[in-house]
Amino acid sequence: MEERTISWALLEHGSWRFHLAAVPEGLCYIGSQDAGPEEIAAYAQKRLPGHRLEENPQALGPYRAELVDYLDGRRTEFSQPVSLAGTAFQQKVWEALRDIPCGETKTYSDIAEQIGRPEAVRAVAAAIGANPVLVHIPCHRVIGKNGKLTGFRGGLDMKKRLLELESGLNK
């Protein structure tokens, strides 16, 4: 079996600092704010066994450019492809997250209703927590039923910053 490569690079832009990773099919991982590349290695070991990591900023250029445009308020949607390793249920939840418009939020219950599984709020929350492509698949737009910010792999500070950034977009 041929060994596959995961290209990765650090995105540093203003006060933002996180790692990106992609396979030939598309972006497969966006790391947490200020986390090291070992976060990508742990993801790859769990979800993409048999792949080797290779630092390759050039390969991540198009993804980086879109993310910089987003962080600068010049973009509200992403066009670069993603390659998501997850269960069928996770894929369904992640697809629902893509329907949340920039600058808006939904609750975990809303997402459970949207995918036709209103009783599966906890499973929906777990699938959202497993989203490998933060920002690109906007899990930061999901909040608690009481309106509070809850769980986010990148940390609640990163979630708050992303929501604040988006509150100024589309205005």
Tell me whether residue 139 is one of the annotated catalytic residues: yes
126: left (phi over 0), alpha (psi -120 to 50) or beta: alpha
- Around Cβ 20, how many Cβ atoms within 10 Å? 24
**Catalytic option among 9, 139, 142, 162:** 139
Q: Which of 112, 121, 43 is nearest to 83 (CA)?
A: 43
d(CA 135, CA 154): 10
Q: Which of 31, 85, 91 is nearest to 60 (CA)?
A: 31
Written as one string, the DSSP assignment of 107-171 is: EHHHHHHHTT-TT-HHHHHHHHHT-SBTTTS-GGGEE-TTS-----TT-HHHHHHHHHHHHTTT-
Collapsing DSSP to helix, strand or coil, 21 comes out as: strand
Here the tokens at position 38 are 């070992």
Catalytic residue positions, numbered: 139
